[in-house]
Amino acid sequence: MLTGQADLDAIGNAIKYAKLYRYMAKPWQSEDLRLTVKEALNSYYQEKEIAEQNAKLQQILEAMPVGVFVADKDGKSFYVNSRGKELLNKGLVPNENAEEVRHIYQAYLADSEEIYPSDRDPILNALKGKSVNIDDVEIRLQDKKIPLEVWGMPIYDVRENIVCAIAAFQDITERKQAEKLLADYNRNLEKQVAERTEELSQALERLKATQEELIQAEKMVALGQLIAGVAHEINNPLGAIRSSIENIADFLDNTLENLPHFFQQLSPEDRGFFFNLLQKSAKQKIRLSSKEQRKIKRKMRRQLESKNIENADTIADTLVDIGVEDIEPLWPIFETPNSSKILENAYQFFTLHQSTNTISNAVDRAAKIVFALKNYARYDTQGEKVEANLIDGIETILTLYHNSLKRGVELVRNYEDIPSILCYPDELNQVWTNLIHNALQAMENKGTLIIDLKPKDKNIQVSITDSGKGIPPEIMQKIFQPFFTTKPPGEGSGLGLDIVRKIIEKHQGNIEVESKPGKTTFIVSLPINREPII
């Protein structure tokens, strides 16, 4: 306390050591003086305590192993600790605006020539109330780059106002080196994995190619066995076509040139009779059996003879061949003198019509055989599943085996409505070929072959049953093994059922066999909607 009567020494000490707390006007009261001194002492001790705390805090900040940078609420820098100065290679630049700090300390976006973006700056974000963490900034020095990880956060007062922003940062050179080493290792590992995967992929492709070659080879073996029967099946319609063409040529040579003269001789009524006969013959859809034809001919002959019409037997034959079953509407024809010519020419036109129908049917039959053969022989190299109906594939194979089936095999088809499925149709045709061929061989081409198709749960079930001798129990477990066969040398490779099993498994299906003397059934189940395994 300094009074107005203080000497020079007291004034000097006050100036040197004292701190102004409060002025008191004279005369003062003793109580006021006591309270004032008390308050001054309290203030002194508080300030001393704060100073000691600040000194401790600064010691802590200086001792921290990470850099610390502080800017006030206006963005002016006012503190950086020793570790910070070491990392930044520069001391504090007081009152420098935070916008310029990145340039002053050469803070760059890692692995670029770009000053670190302001919108990602930890101090600037902290002054906006955001806490951020970055690890993509580096300090550029003359001889090196120091990558940093920085945490920025705002500091608030008791009223939740931002009073400053603090950034803590550390050198992450070793971590970056470790990350790079790990990345290099991963890249090398990925390269090795890719190389091994490629090697395995190539090996798998070679294996698949070998398997496909086996399938194709087995298919060609079966195709060779089918050729003789298929050739016979094609020769039959070709013979029918040749015979029909001869009939048509005969008509053109002997009948066509006489038609103008024939029509000139006919009255309008006779022409009506002629065209009526042609319409009847053209409408004939179902051929009568021989027994039915003989019965109608006998009846017609008696009717014609009762009318005293000559050549009743020949006329009855002609009318029945044309397709006439009731002679009553035709009696007016026999009252005209041109009746024999009308019947003769109508028969010639009927023969022409029948020949064209025969050619059409023979062509359809041959086309069906060729189509089935082409479908069987072709091989899809795309390796992609397509939507197909199993009935179509089975019918293709049955067409190829028609010659074998018609000689003594009763074929029973039990087809329920089934949806199309995603599959490899060519490969499934190989399955049906093998199973049907085995069934025919087991029956020695005489017996009953039953083919059942039906939906079951989420699968389509195909059962092929033969009435052969059956499979002995002692070999039942071996029939799907590669190269196992009970056939004589030259008749089988032993790969057929092994390939069948592999094809079915490729479709995520399964195959079972049930056998007893006089009956063997192979049951194939194929999924309807299941996705392929990759």
Mean pLDDT per 10-residue segment, the chain (534 residues):
51 52 60 68 64 68 84 88 87 77 88 90 92 92 89 91 92 88 85 83 74 62 58 64 73 68 72 73 65 82 81 80 75 75 75 73 66 58 79 87 83 94 88 89 91 93 94 84 58 65 90 92 88 47
Cα Dmax for the chain: 182
For residue 127, give the H/E element and its range. Answer: helix 122-127
Phi, psi (rounded to 5 degrees) for 423:
-160, 180
3-state secondary structure 484-530: CCCCCCCCCCCCHHHHHHHHHHHCCCEEEEEEECCEEEEEEEEECCC
Give CA–CA dist 58/89, Å, rounded.
20
Tens of pLDDT, residue by residue over 178-236, are: 888 888 888 888 888 888 888 878 877 776 776 666 666 666 656 565 555 566 566 66
Q: Hey, is 88 helix, strand or coil?
A: helix
Q: Hey, is 335 helix, strand or coil?
A: helix
Domains of the chain: 8-60 (no CATH), 64-171 (3.30.450.20), 384-527 (3.30.565.10)
Residues making up the chain, counted from first to last? 534
- pLDDT value of residue 495: 58
For the whole model, what pTM was predicted?
A: 0.41
- pLDDT value of residue 40: 66
Q: Which of 449, 424, 397 is nearest to 504 (CA)?
A: 424
- pLDDT value of residue 390: 94
Tens of pLDDT, residue by residue over 62-102, are: 778 889 999 998 888 888 898 888 888 887 877 777 778 88
- pLDDT value of residue 493: 45
Q: Hey, is 80 helix, strand or coil?
A: strand
Residues 6+ apart with CB under 8 A from 215: 427, 430, 499, 503
